[in-house]
């Protein structure tokens, strides 16, 4: 890639939770950024810090309709796109089961559109946000990338199909691609308002309001929660890998912390972090939920130098502080 100040990175879904942190990370590294977002769940206010930044452009568009038309005027003004970080997605597993045909468009067609743009325009690098949902209910933990993918929802199936399309792009088209399988991401700007939201955003928001917390199942299920700042670092680092010395072409890697926490412990930590005195109620387990999930992050460490910097205590504190300010 050229020098940072002349490098243009396209971030699809850049107005969303993880996307906005990724945009911030890229701008801090001195890169130029164009966001493509349809604002279905993303918000302009997620990018409030940088709205007047001269190196940021935001375009409202549905990426499953293609990237050529929305990016053409930007390319005329600023030159070619060097990298694409593709986060735009329908992110609810439950909604993917209710509307699989809508999901295939948002979560697979959009990826094919990204690869097609990269092929035609010779984009240096494509990075895709895959998900731990591609694994299904594995028992051999921590889960490595060698585990056979057995997704249990259209969301997981379409994430896996997207990974395969990236591999086709890398192996057949000669593109440089990386798919990062994100585990449970949390942090400031995660939207707690939807029933599909991340559990930490819901637990913190309810604790701060003094409302009781609901846990589905016995709360002994475990997850690997990774702070959004660490995820944004991994995405931008994977994208900026120099094509000449590219060690991560065709890479698929887990992004988590390698540490599991039970939902009961998490609820207790969220309540303590907010100095709240709310109760925890247990409701029947939700169908299709996996029991345990924790990432083996050896591959991301070896290839990207990925090492999560934010402990769960620190991450919860930063996130609670942000919700307090809302």
Ligand X SMILES: NC(=O)c1ccc[n+]([C@@H]2O[C@H](COP(=O)([O-])OP(=O)(O)OC[C@H]3O[C@@H](n4cnc5c(N)ncnc54)[C@H](O)[C@@H]3O)[C@@H](O)[C@H]2O)c1
Contact positions vs ligand X (CB under 6 A): 12-13, 15-19, 36-42, 62-64, 87-91, 106, 110, 129, 131, 182, 184-185, 198
CA distance 320 to 270: 8
* Closest approach of ligand X to the CB of residue 86, in Å: 8
CA 230 to chain CA centroid, nearest Å: 11
Cβ closest to ligand X, residue 7 vs residue 64: 64
Cβ closest to ligand X, residue 4 vs residue 262: 262
DSSP string covering 79-131:
----EEEE------HHHHHH-HHHHHIIIIIHHHHHHHHHHHHT-SEEEEEEE
Phi and psi dihedrals of 213, rounded to 5?
-100, 140
CA 28 to chain CA centroid, nearest Å: 19
DSSP summary character for residue 20: H
Q: Which residues are catalytic?
A: 155
Cα Rg for the chain, rounded, in angstroms?
A: 19
Query: Which is nearest to 133 in space by CA: 217, 16, 275, 256?
Result: 256
Cβ closest to ligand X, residue 31 vs residue 127: 127
* Closest approach of ligand X to the CB of residue 64, in Å: 5
Cβ closest to ligand X, residue 11 vs residue 215: 11
Cβ closest to ligand X, residue 18 vs residue 157: 18
Helices (H) and strands (E) in the chain, counts: 11, 13
* Closest approach of ligand X to the CB of residue 18, in Å: 4
Phi and psi dihedrals of 292, rounded to 5?
-130, 145
| HSE toward the beta carbon, residue 22, CA cutoff 13 A | 33
Cβ closest to ligand X, residue 82 vs residue 181: 181
* Closest approach of ligand X to the CB of residue 277, in Å: 28
Sheet holding 251-255, edge to edge: 56-60, 32-37, 8-12, 83-86, 125-131, 177-182, 251-255
CA distance 269 to 254: 25
Cβ closest to ligand X, residue 277 vs residue 326: 326
CA distance 165 to 139: 27
CA dist 100 to 103, 153, 155, Å? 5, 9, 8
């Amino acid at each position: 890639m050229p020098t940072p100040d002349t490098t243009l990175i396209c971030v699809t879904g850049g107005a969303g939770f993880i996307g906005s942190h990724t945009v911030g990370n890229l701008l801090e590294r001195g890169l130029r950024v164009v966001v493509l977002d349809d604002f279905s769940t993303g918000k302009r206010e997620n990018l409030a810090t940088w709205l007047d930044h001269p190196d940021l452009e935001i375009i409202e568009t549905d990426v499953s309709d293609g990237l050529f038309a929305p990016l053409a005027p930007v390319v005329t003004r600023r030159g070619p796109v060097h990298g694409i970080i593709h986060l735009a997605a329908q992110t609810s597993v439950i909604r993917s089961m209710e509307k699989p045909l809508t999901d295939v468009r948002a979560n697979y067609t959009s990826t094919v559109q990204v690869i097609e743009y990269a092929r035609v325009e010779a984009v240096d690098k494509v990075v895709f946000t895959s998900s731990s949902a591609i694994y299904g209910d594995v028992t051999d933990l921590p889960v490595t990338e060698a585990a056979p993918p057995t997704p249990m929802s259209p969301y997981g199936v379409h994430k896996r199909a997207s990974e395969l399309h990236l591999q086709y792009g890398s192996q057949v088209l000669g593109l440089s691609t990386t798919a990062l399988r994100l585990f449970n991401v949390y942090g400031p700007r995660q939207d707690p308002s939807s029933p599909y939201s991340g559990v930490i955003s819901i637990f913190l928001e309810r604790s701060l309001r003094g409302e009781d917390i609901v846990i589905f199942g016995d709360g002994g299920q475990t997850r690997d929660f990774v702070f959004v700042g660490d995820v944004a670092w991994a995405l931008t680092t994977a994208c900026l890998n120099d094509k000449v010395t590219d060690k991560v072409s065709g890479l698929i890697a887990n992004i988590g912390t390698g540490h599991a926490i039970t939902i009961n412990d998490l609820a207790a930590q969220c309540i303590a972090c907010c100095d709240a005195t709310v109760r925890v109620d247990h409701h029947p387990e939700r169908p299709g939920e996996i029991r345990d999930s924790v990432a083996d992050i050896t591959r991301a460490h070896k290839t990207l130098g990925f090492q999560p910097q934010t402990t769960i205590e620190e991450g919860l504190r930063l996130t609670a502080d942000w919700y307090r300010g809302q």
